[in-house]
Amino acid sequence: MPEVAVFRHNLFRISEVFITEQARHYSKYHPLFLGRLRQGAAPPGVDALAFEDLYPRMALPMAGLQMASRSIAPYERLLAGRRPALIHAHFGIEGVYALPLAERLGVPLVTTFHGFDATLSTAGFFASPAWAWYPLLRRGLMRRGNLFLCVSEFIRERLLAQGFPPERTQVHYMGVDCGLISPRAPGEEEPVILHVARLVEMKGTEFLIRAFAALVSKHPKVRLVIIGDGALRKRLEKQARECGVAAQVAFLGARPHVEVLSWMRRAALLALPSVRSPSGRVEGLGMVVLEAAATGVPSVGSDMGGIRETIVNGETGFLVPERDTAALAARMGELLADAELRRRMGEAARLRVEQKFDIVRQTAVLEEIYDGLLA
């Protein structure tokens, strides 16, 4: 099979299962994961190369040096003569680093934009050493990158506004595994509101806790389960205590994907109350909503960004204005009070995922895109 180098600086992050799963569903191409560091264990049988394979004791310093210099020499050494048919970089940041490698190898470069890489302000990029090269080199990527894939129409609109070429910028929805994730049985459901997110400002967790505190009196048995970790965890735990709901809010931290899916089968609904952060970050799509939908679980999310493309308001869940705690509490309470509504919306959500976001179908479309580039 032709080989695709799946390029991501930090491979196998627990919050980025969607990258690994997309590549594992290739049927016509062989994925070779290529990056600086392994942030998690590679799934069994996955072909992956990272700096620790070259520098077992110096991988982290070498990663920092490569981040600053953008030298492609370590990647050439890792490949050791292997020549992938193309490189698929995930995130625009990776795109500017992968571009010189693709040009040296003489192969096409595909870059997928997922969210922050299309929405963060220029000042936000410069605030991080890992991202600072991107705004400086973005124009070169626009001119010389072969194809730019966007995880939502919202992300494509943002890229076009920045000057990306329309003829090389297209939407390709990431998929979820409708074979692996089956609709849950009614008896599996518990009075649980599930929130799966990194604990950062953009995810709107503070508004969710406030909304949860507002509806507990009418739904005393309900629990809020929060899966994910981040810089705001201690502050959010303090907020739950101050709101008097600490006993009904469980902060589970980052959990393996299989455990996340298990919690989805138990949830009455999923909440994704994302907000626009001061630095401009906006939700690009909301993969967690698609996984909940595949399980037959309705969602309540903010009416913004790519979330509008994952939730059909009033059909598969509810959209509410961002930062509107009262509206969020009202819609969650409406779902908690009506088992038939949850069932109906969950079934509609599952059907929509099967029709539009199934990973087998979406990956087949991606491989047709590869075919077109290589032809």
Q: Return the exposure string of 222-235: e unless at least 16 CB atoms fall within 10 Å of the residue's CB, then b.
A: bbbbbbbbbebbee
Are 130 and 236 contained in the same domain? Answer: no
Are 84 and 198 contained in the same domain? Answer: no
Are 257 and 319 contained in the same domain? Answer: yes
Are 52 and 165 contained in the same domain? Answer: yes
Per-residue pLDDT reduced to its tens digit, 306-340: 999 999 999 999 999 999 999 999 999 999 999 99
Under the banding of pLDDT at 50, 70 and 90, the label for residue 186 is confident
Q: Which residue range is the domain that position 58 belongs to?
A: 3-175+358-374
For 219, counting Cβ atoms within 10 Å of its Cβ (0-12 exposed, 13-18 middle, 19+ buried), the class is middle
Per-residue pLDDT reduced to its tens digit, 193-232: 999 999 999 999 999 999 999 999 999 999 999 999 999 9
Domain count, the chain: 2
Under the banding of pLDDT at 50, 70 and 90, the label for residue 32 is very high
Per-residue pLDDT reduced to its tens digit, 89-136: 999 999 999 999 999 999 999 999 999 999 999 999 999 999 999 999
pLDDT of 116 reads 94
Residue 181 lies in a domain: no
Mean pLDDT confidence for 60-79:
95
298: left (phi over 0), alpha (psi -120 to 50) or beta: beta
Are 154 and 288 contained in the same domain? Answer: no
Are 109 and 197 contained in the same domain? Answer: no
Residue 17 lies in a domain: yes
Residue 139 lies in a domain: yes
Q: Alpha-carbon distance 175 to 26, whole Å?
A: 12
Residue 180 lies in a domain: no
Share of the chain above pLDDT 90, in %: 96
Under the banding of pLDDT at 50, 70 and 90, the label for residue 45 is confident
Q: Return the exposure string of 25-64: e unless at least 16 CB atoms fall within 10 Å of the residue's CB, then b.
A: bbeebebbbbbbbbbbeeeeebebbbbbeeeeeebeebbe
Are 123 and 224 contained in the same domain? Answer: no
* Residue 44 clears pLDDT 90, i.e. is over it: no
Under the banding of pLDDT at 50, 70 and 90, the label for residue 246 is very high
Residue 158 lies in a domain: yes
Are 169 and 222 contained in the same domain? Answer: no
Of 175-179, 231-235, 278-282, give the lowest mean pLDDT range.
Answer: 278-282
Q: Alpha-carbon distance 67 to 76, whole Å?
A: 15
Are 83 and 126 contained in the same domain? Answer: yes
Residue 218 lies in a domain: yes
* Residue 356 clears pLDDT 90, i.e. is over it: yes
Are 160 and 239 contained in the same domain? Answer: no
Could you tell me the CATH number of the domain that includes residue 264?
Answer: 3.40.50.2000
Q: Alpha-carbon distance 349 to 355, whole Å?
A: 10
Are 292 and 160 contained in the same domain? Answer: no
Q: Alpha-carbon distance 126 to 133, whole Å?
A: 8
Question: Would the pTM count as exceeding 0.85?
Answer: yes
pLDDT of 176 reads 95
Are 240 and 167 contained in the same domain? Answer: no
Residue 54 lies in a domain: yes
Residue 156 lies in a domain: yes
Q: Alpha-carbon distance 195 to 93, whole Å?
A: 27
pLDDT of 43 reads 85
